[in-house]
Structure 1
Amino acid sequence: MNATMRRVAMATTAVALAATLAACGQAKEAGGDSRPEKKKTGPLTIGLLLPEDQTTRYENFDRPLIVKHVKALCADCTVRYGNAKSDAATQQQQVDSMITKKVDVIILDAVDSESIASSVKRADKAGIPVVAYDRLAEGPVSGYTSFDNEEVGRVQGRSLLKALGDRAGQGKIVMLNGWEADPNAAMFKRGALSVLEGKVEIGKSYDIDRWLADEANESMSGAISSLGKDEIVGVYAANDGMAGGAISALKSGGLDPLPPVTGQDAELAGVQRVLSGDQYMSVYKPYEPEAEAAAKMAIALGHGEKVDASDTVDSPTTKGIPTTLITPVALTKENVKETVVQDGLWKVSDICTAKYAAACAEAGLK
């Protein structure tokens, strides 16, 4: 082979090698999994990272229920816990800490679904699968469990229209939506608007920072000043904490009777307001099946097994994520007994303090 032929052969080989490498890279981006396969038997160490402690559900229900179901499936498994207290940077550090401690799997409820993606990638590269809990984190998550969040919004919207009746066309509603960094907030809002648009006039709409009741109170006060108290016929509040802030502002603003106000999470204070009539409804989301689904996913992934899920969803970064979605329930004073009390979320003694004794008696709670 002469020098010219050798140069042609070398160039052809280089091009072929480059094409092969490029193809491999593209395949990985299109859905290749960098996490090494593993089959582990015996006890697992599971990281549990929850987003905040402003909403009572996370510390009072999600954390103990997930731990309970993990232990039921794997008595010797260990759960390492962290709460980010609404700080995305803190949660990123917590993921890094779980990677350093070499946990087997992470259950993650993201503070900010987009910014956490790089942390999820680091966990994936370290061979640690991530279960997205309640909020769909971006990055290569291996499983997801939550509620049908657009249906949550639709449930709220339908309930508000039912409460308004003929008054739906006689004034304006105020929308107090959830925190923009929470992907669920956008789904709640989208679901609610799919029901409300064209049937009510939306006078003001706010996205409430970190779901804070004080922020909701301030926004509601601003809406009353801007629209006038006589123009407001209803309030869409995305959760119970914000509903409480809104109701306080409505009372201070002199609205009597109060317009119907929605909520979500069936927090104790929210249930009490529903019974007293201050809040029209909440959304009861049974945490037990959601926590159980997360525990099952985590144990399976930690052992290198496939996730058993009834559905799949796509995130902005990952396609076909195995998913279990739980159906939400509209909670009104008529079904408190058959929902949150019957399911053991709240005891009658928790709900029916002296202040709410008359309302409880009227609802048949003893």
Structure 2
Amino acid sequence: MKKILLAVLGLALTAALAACGGGASGSGGSGTIGILMPSTTNARWQIEANQMSATLKERGYDTSVQFANDDAPTQVSQLEDMVTKGVKALIVVAVDGKALGGPLADAKASNIPVVAYTRLLQKTDAADFYTTFDYKKYGALSGTAILQRLGIQDKDGKDTGNKGPFNIEIVNGSPTDSVAYDMWEGYRATIQPYVDNGTLRVLSGQTTFDQSATLNWNPETAQKRMENIVTKTYSGGAKLDAVWVPYDGLTRGVISALTGSGFSPGSDRWPLLTGGDAEVDSVKAILAGQQYSTVYLDYKALAKGTADLVADKLEGKGFPKADTEYDNGTTKVPAKLFDLSLVRKDDVKPVLVDRGFYTADQIGLK
């Protein structure tokens, strides 16, 4: 009888320990989630990886986070290694959305759920879900900001009859990133009609995506290109009125090019500069009058929301109802879209500080 009682107690203790293995939240989750990020050069990727890891830990999961230094072959190897080790799920921000087909196919064969994060995974049927922002709207917000600030449109988006002409240049994102093409569609929807009718002129002649693309979103590449444009096109007295730029890191490269070429912020020659991601240094640049606008992405909410939906999927709840679908060239991937908004100087406090994204001290707001 003692042996039977001890055996029963042992089984009960084993069951209790197993129940505790689900983590602090008691959700029952276990195992490792693979998180693949492109680099550490953009500050948001580290922040988002940390947020995902914290959220998944609360749900009972471990995480394996890898940064690829913006090198596609490195990311391929990292992904292969995670699949081999049998991670429970994958969250992937691709360096090159078309380069991961092989290991993604292996993940699918191993029944590992794959979530494309921010950037669409292309030419694959292995992407189960996509979490992102509406980047067409993102690009359009920057375009509209320029049109309204130059007086081409009023605050309601209606034409004012102002024909300029105004001179504008374009700095696009990386050709390896699907997001950059979505932003470009936002540009085309807002700015391109005014280029076509002559209200806006691109004096450099670099009007296509390929001519204005910036590989891997590299600020130094954007700086060098803008230096060349200024030297060849604007050194003779032509006024540069605006530069459409979709990401704050590239904007900082443009600012360096302009200041190095003798342009002074606040002067009549200083152009309107847009940006995106609301990075700390660029918010400070907006407050200082160097940059006109950025686009606020609540990427902390995106990271937490993505981590939670992956945990929900693993715990049998499935993915949430999609807001839309994206065609990746092989299949249509269901997607959930998170919020974004334009930020100019007067928007910094209500949008970024009052919502708790930054403190006033972080951005030097008095």
TM class by smaller structure = 0.7 to 0.9
SS of the residue 1:279 aligns to: coil
Q: What is residue 191 of structure 2 aligned with on the other side?
A: 196
* Residue 37 of structure 1: aligned partner: none
Tell me what 2:223 maps to.
217
Partner amino acid, structure 1, of 2:271: P
The aligned amino acid for 1:222 is: N
1:161–1:168 CA contact under 8 A, matched in 2: no
Question: For residue 148 of structure 1, what is the aligned residue in structure 2?
Answer: 134
| Matched letter for residue 218 of structure 2 | L
Give the letter for the 1:218 counterpart: K
Q: Given the alignment of the two structures, is residue 285 of structure 1 paired with residue 285 of structure 2, yes or no?
A: no
Q: 1:34 matched to which residue of 2?
A: none
One-letter amino acid of the structure 1 residue matched with residue 262 of structure 2: G
Q: Classify 1:103/1:81 alpha carbon distance in 2 versus 1 (closer, same or farther; 3 Å).
A: same
Instruction: Map residues 24-103 of structure 1 onto 2, 5 A cutoff.
Output: 42-59=29-46, 61-72=47-58, 74=59, 76-103=60-87
What residue in structure 2 maps to residue 19 of structure 1? none
Q: Per-residue deviation at 1:305? A: 4.2
In structure 2, the residue corresponding to 1:106 is in which secondary structure? strand
Structure 2 residue 103 is the aligned partner of structure 1 residue 119: yes
Determine helix, strand or coil for the equivalent of 2:34. strand
The 5 Å alignment of 1:334-353 reads: 334-352=346-364
Give yes or no for contact 1:141–1:318 (8 Å, CA) kept in 2. no
- Give 1:255's aligned amino acid: F
- Aligned equivalents of 1:92 and 1:152: distance in 2? 29
Counterpart position of 1:104: 88
Number of matched residues? 312
Match of 2:10 in 1: none
Tell me what 2:7 maps to.
none
| SS of equivalent to 1:120 | helix
Identical pairs, percent: 28
2:261 aligned with 1:244, yes or no? no
Larger displacement relative to structure 2 (175-184 or 314-323): 314-323
Q: Which residue of 1 aligns with 2:4?
A: none
Instruction: Quote the Cα distance in structure 1 between the aligned partners of 2:321 and 2:55.
Output: 17
| Aligned equivalent of 1:312 | 324
SS of residue matched to 2:190:
helix
The equivalent of 1:175 in structure 2 is 170
SS across alignment from 2:170: strand
Match of 1:14 in 2: none
Once residues 44 and 164 of structure 2 are traced to their aligned partners in structure 1, the CA distance between those partners, rounded to angstroms, is 35
Q: Is the 1:135–1:146 Cα contact (8 Å) retained in structure 2?
A: yes
What SS does the corresponding residue of 2:79 show, helix, strand or coil? helix
1:228 counterpart = 2:234: yes
Where 1:145 maps in the other structure, the secondary structure is: strand
AA matched with 1:303: E
**Runs of 5+ unmatched residues, structure 1:** 1-39, 353-359
Matched, 1:302 2:317: no
Report if aligned partners of 1:169, 1:201 keep a CA contact under 8 Å in 2: no
Is the 1:168–1:233 contact (alpha carbons within 8 Å) kept by the matching residues of 2?
Answer: no
Question: Is 215-224 or 117-126 further displaced after alignment?
Answer: 117-126
The answer (yes or no) to whether the contact 1:52–1:85 under 8 Å persists in 2 is yes
TM-score by length of 2: 0.81
1:184 aligns with 2:175: no
Preserved contact between residue 121 and residue 328 of structure 2 (Cα < 8 Å): no
Q: CA offsets per residue over residues 279-322 of structure 1, 9 Å max, x none?
A: 00011100122112211221133335420133231333443423
1:16 is aligned to none
Q: TM-score, normalised by structure 1?
A: 0.81
Contact preservation (8 Å) 2:326, 2:334: no
Q: Any conservation in 1 of the 2:326–2:335 contact (CA below 8 Å)?
A: no
- Between the aligned partners of 1:149 and 1:274, the Cα distance in structure 2 is 21
Query: 8 Å contact 1:308–1:322 — kept in the other structure?
Result: no
Q: Following TM superposition, by how much is the alpha carbon of 1:44 offset from its aligned partner in structure 2, in angstroms? A: 3.0
Alpha-carbon distance, 1:342 to partner: 2.3
CA distance in 1, matches of 2:326, 2:250: 29
Which digits, 9 at most, give the CA deviation of each residue in 1:57-97, with x for residues without a partner?
111x211221222233x1x2101110111011111111111
Stretch moving more, 339-348 or 106-115? 339-348
Q: Kindly tell me: are residues 97 and 243 of structure 1, through their superposed partners in 2, closer, same or farther at Cα, counting changes over 3 Å?
A: same
User: Is contact 1:133–1:146 with CA below 8 Å preserved after alignment?
Assistant: yes
Aligned to 1:46, what secondary structure does the other structure show? strand
Q: State whether residues 313 and 319 of structure 1, in contact with CA within 8 Å, keep that contact through their aligned partners in structure 2.
A: no
Residues 136 and 183, structure 1, Cα contact 8 Å, conserved in 2: yes
CA distance in 2, matches of 1:336, 1:168: 31
